[in-house]
Structures are given as structure tokens and as C-alpha cells.
Amino acid sequence: MRVLFVSTSTTIGGAEKTLFSLATRLEPKEFEVAGAVSLKPLGFYADRLAERGIKTHSLGVQRWPLFAHTRALAGIIRREKPDIIHALMYQAMQLCRFVKPRAGVRFKLISSPRVSYRTRSFWTLAVDRMLRGADDLLISESDASRDFLVGRLGYAADKVRTIYNGIDIAEQPAGERDSKRRELGLGAEDVLIGAIGRLDEQKGHAYLVEAMSRMRNLSRAHCVIMGDGPLRGKLEARIRRLGLKNSVRLLGEVDDASSRLSALDIFVLPSLWEGLPNALLEAMAHGLPAAASSVDGVCEAVEDGVTGFLVPPKDPDALAGALSKLIADAQTRRRMGAAGRARVAERFSFSRMLASYEAAYREVVSRP
């Protein structure tokens, strides 16, 4: 069964990591990966796929796909003759939907939007309505996203399935935590809060910075934010204005975010909307308690008061309160962290996700 992956990008991100994980760990006796196509220039995960011997292609899209990109994708499809195309993220989905009846090759199309469409413009939603009939199956990463697609956008319920993101539960290498904390100049008594995500409006980092400004009496608390994006300059200015240069650091985009989680004591997710972020699940798998916005699929991962605290989005006072509770009580951090790790193992393991995708691929191909 040949599977071709098509993604809007292959940079560092949750959807891109899922693509990489599936492409490199599908059962080889049953599935053959025909390659991975990125609409945008090749990025971090494309390089890792190529290292594994998986063919990668870039269509060179700069802003929006053009007819030349349609022809290029159709050419790849005719050459590779996949049984399934798995498209991830909005632009890749729409391009694959448009190409499907024009490629000259019969294949099944599985689409993964990866986050709810609440913020899409009228015109992008109109394009989605025109082309969605090409899907054989649409996979949402959380029940919240599925409910939005079915209840608000009118997708057929029998064509939308939830498959939760999955994370490997791995033991931390001995000494990694101490090493990573030394790199940051932290002592044993310091409490390190961390966030991972692109520096844009969705991730809500400005509210985290505001929350930190309201906890300055907690002199041992420090915060690192991993990721880059268009709001970096504004966040840096806000950090300076609030006098937080010594307690809040922007680390930029890092390619070892998972290992850096070992240095943290608390993971924070101040997002305004989400699907089901891999970074949150990875933090929980590391045994970290979470202080997270009560939005979308986050509420399906974090059990309030058990694995962490849920707070309203855009509420720095509530976020500061949740962080203060965790900073003040190491026993609570350990208890919630252990509960979070157990929850990931039970509901959000990689093996469970992989088995669900493989079952979906088999089912779709078996349909007439």
C-alpha cells in the first residue's frame, strides 16, 4: 500500500512532526512510503526524512499555490502512483483536493486539518466548501476539532474521525536535566517554567509574559520560551518594558526542544486556540505539570487539578495564580507530573496513534 504525504511545510511544528513520525514508522511489510511533498521550501523534517532514504519534494510555493504548483503535484502523483495521499494542513489539503480528479491516477485522499478552522477567512472557508467532497476521510486531532468541523462547518459526521496525537514515553538520559539547567545558569532551587511554540498571536505568549510580571515576588522563578515567529520583536520589547530581562528568556527556534523539556519544572501553554498540541503531550510525557489555557483539545489532555491547572485564555491573572501554586509546592508538581505521564501512556501514546492511522489507511483503501 503506497502512501504519499503532502504537507504545507516541513519546518519544526506539530503537524510536520506527525508526518515525520508516520512516514518513518509505518509497518514496512504493509505500507510503502512513496515520498513526502512540501508546498513550501524544504525544512527541518524534510532533511530528516531524506536522511532516512525517503524522497522529498518541494513545490516552491511562496504564498498561495498557483496552477504551476498544481501541475507539479500532479506530475509527482503520476510518477509515484500512490494508493493513498495523506494531506496535512489547510493549503496542502486544498491543493490535493483540487488535483485529485485531474491527476490521471486513482487514489484515496485523507486530509488532516490539524487545527479548527475558526480563524479562517470567509474566502478560505468558501474554497474549503467547494473542494471538501474530494476527501475520502478527514482526520481531526481532537474531539473539539471534530465537533467544530461537523457542527459548525457542516462536514459529514461519518467522514470525520478523531485520532489523538501520540507521543513516545521515553526515559530521560541520566544527567540530562542537570546539564540543560547548567546551560541556563540555574541552580537546584530555581523553578523553571517553559513554553514551546511559534511566536504568533495564537500561542498567547504575551499573556505569559504579563503573568510573569505579576509574580516578581517569586525570585526563584524563571521562564524560557522556545520558538520563533513574527511577534518576537514585540515580545522582546514587552519583556524589557516590564523589567523581566533576568527572568524571561526567548531561546528562539531549537531543534532539541524535547531534551530541553528535561530542564523544566512546569510547562505552560497560554494559547488562545489549539488542536491538540504535541508540545503539551511531550511535556506531560516528561512528567511535567501543566498550566494551560482551557481551549479546544487542551481540555482533552489536561485534567484540571489532576495533571495540571486549566485557566481561561487571555487571563494573565489566572495564569499567574496557577503558576504560583505550582511554583510554591514541589510535591504538587511531582504528583501532577506523574499523573500527566500516566495519562499520556494511557490515551496519547505513539503506538496507539500509529495503530489508528494504519487502521484508517486500510479501511479507506478497502472501500470501493
Pairing mode of beta strands 308-311, 2-7:
unpaired
Please report, in angstroms and rounded to a whole number, the separation of the first and last CA atoms in the chain. Answer: 15
- Fold for 176-347, please state it: Rossmann fold (3.40.50)
Domain residue ranges of the chain, discontinuous segments joined by +? 2-166+349-366, 176-347
pLDDT digits (tens, 9 = 90+) for 300-352: 999 999 999 999 999 999 999 999 999 999 999 999 999 999 999 999 999 99
At residue 193, does pLDDT exceed 90?
Answer: yes
Pairing mode of beta strands 290-293, 266-269:
parallel
Percent of the chain with pLDDT over 90: 84
| CB-based contacts of 136, cutoff 8 Å, min separation 6 | 108, 109, 110, 159, 364, 367
Cα atoms found within 13 Å of the Cα of residue 235, Cβ hemisphere only? 26
pLDDT digits (tens, 9 = 90+) for 250-260: 999 887 777 88
The answer to whether the 2-166+349-366 and 176-347 domains have the same CATH topology is yes
Q: What DSSP state is assigned to residue 255? A: S
pLDDT digits (tens, 9 = 90+) for 134-150: 999 999 999 999 999 99
Q: Which CATH class is domain 2-166+349-366?
A: alpha beta
pLDDT at 174: 64
Question: Which helix (H) or strand (E) segment is 87 a member of?
Answer: strand 84-88
Reported confidence tier of residue 355, pLDDT bands at 50, 70, 90:
very high
Provide the 10 A C-beta neighbour count for residue 75. 13
> What is the residue type of 80?
E
> What is the residue type of 198?
R
pLDDT digits (tens, 9 = 90+) for 153-184: 999 999 999 999 999 887 666 678 888 899 89
Q: Mean pLDDT, to the nearest integer, of 203-225?
A: 90
Percent of the chain with pLDDT over 70: 98
pLDDT at 220: 86
SS3 content of the chain, % helix, strand, coil (to 5): 45, 20, 35
Quote the mean pLDDT of the chain.
Answer: 93
368 vs 306, residue with greater confidence: 306
| CB-based contacts of 60, cutoff 8 Å, min separation 6 | 41, 69
CA dihedral sign, ordered 358, 361, 364, 368: negative
pLDDT at 114: 78
> CA dihedral defined by 56, 59, 62, 63, rounded to 10 degrees?
-110
pLDDT at 255: 74
Q: Mean pLDDT, to the nearest integer, of 216-220?
A: 72
The CA–CA distances, whole Å, from 156 to 93, 122, 151, 152 equal 17, 20, 9, 11
The CA–CA distances, whole Å, from 102 to 57, 67, 78, 105 equal 20, 12, 10, 8
pLDDT digits (tens, 9 = 90+) for 83-126: 999 999 999 999 999 999 999 999 999 999 977 677 788 899 99
- Closest by Cα among 109, 335, 320 to 213: 320
pLDDT at 219: 76
